[in-house]
Amino acid sequence: MIIADDFSAQNDAEMIQQAIDFAAVNNTKSVQLLDRDYSITQPIVIKEGVRLCFGYGARFIISGNFRVIELERNASLIGAYIAIADSAFNSAVIYLDGKNKFYNSWFRTKVKDVTIVNWSGTHKGTGIKLYSNGPGHEISFVTFQNIKLVSLGTALLLQAVTPQSGISYVNGNTFSEFVIDDCVHCIRLLAGVTYPNDCSGNVFNNLQIQTSSSTVRVLSVTGQYNEFHGIAWDITTITHNQPIVILTNNSSYNTVALKTIPLNKIQNNGVGNKIEIT
């Protein structure tokens, strides 16, 4: 185990990056953070094959507007507590880019036991963003487990952009045990219905979605065969009368099973989508 605080740098972010870079080229691949607040003022990249672990009392306090943590293929983030303290922040907190080609099921990329909260009061920023935009760019078979996303502009965004050639994917990922609280947009999938830009076959289990007067939309779906299972709480606190779940005309054969959301709050413009209301 490499202790990040054993490295010397001008600021906490540079110190942590030095520890990660050292781990990437040495046999010890786990970087440990101590039980203290870390002031983060610039991006951190978890390099391929490295695991960044937070001590139970470790926190990132974010000042500025930048992507906070990018994970490369085979990288992992465990136990993170990330607090946005700057009202200027409007970027992604955790970011994966399909250019790194997360495509084999035996890759060990994982994000687990993470809390992200915007306590600046702005309801801005994106908690987790998966993005593909290029030929062969792919994010598949990545696991996200036990995640809490609070007071953000968008809690979770999956986006596949039409590439100039070839196909870009955000397919077959698993999102389990998510708590999404007081966010403007809770879950968004932005893509075509299928090739060449595809967000399909992603599974969302054990969702606990706490809406608020700031919530505009619980779910917006493109792509095929995605599944959403969970509960949305206190939807009467949402102040507008528009649909809070939208399955776009670029959606087909998705399953939405979010208890407590009535049919009159769901707009289904796709083909073959299944709405389960109990």
14-46, pLDDT tens digit by residue? 999 999 999 999 999 999 999 999 999 999 999
223-242, pLDDT tens digit by residue? 999 999 999 999 999 999 99
Domains of the chain listed by start with CATH number = 37-275 (2.160.20)
The type of residue at 43 is P
Q: Per-residue confidence at 194, pLDDT binned at 50, 70, 90? A: confident
Residues contacting residue 119 through CB under 8 Å, at least 6 positions apart: 83, 84, 85, 151
- For tokens 């054993």, what's the residue? 6
Burial 56-89 (b: 16+ CB within 10 A, else e): eebbbbbebeebbbbbbbbbbbebbbbbbbbeeb
Q: Would you call 10 exposed, middle or buried from its count of C-beta atoms within 10 A (0-12, 13-18, 19+)?
A: exposed
Per the prediction, the chain carries an average pLDDT of 96
**pLDDT over threshold 80, residue 278:** no
